[in-house]
Amino acid sequence: MVEENQIILSTDGKHTVIVPVSKDWEADLENACAIYDQIVGKYGLKCEQYQNNGQKKEPVCPIHKKTMTYVENGKYGPFWSCRQKMRDGGFCKKTAEA
């Protein structure tokens, strides 16, 4: 069985772009890079999640652009929460996995 050549680009081991390579490999590479850039734009790079001391950075709420607060004792365990109040008086519902 002949193995097919592939272009594999990974942001963190979870979000991976795999593109089969054809005779027009330059177009295949361009396509893979475009998809990779979209994934990085949406999910970021794993290395961006950590500061130099190895601790995770505090995530930023995508709506309010403010740093989220770490909540240790959530119903389903620890998580990051946006503490910005909404117009209805409740808190923003955006959270991030701890």
| 10-residue averages of pLDDT along the chain (98 residues) | 72 77 89 86 66 64 89 86 90 84
pTM: 0.44
Distance CA 71, CA 46 (A): 22
- 67, 84 Cβ separation under 8 angstroms: no
Distance CA 18, CA 31 (A): 10
Can you give the pLDDT at residue 98? 66
Beta bridge partners of 19: 7
Can you give the pLDDT at residue 81? 92
Smallest CA-to-CA distance from 83 within 93, 74, 75 is with: 93
Can you give the pLDDT at residue 17? 83
Can you give the pLDDT at residue 2? 46
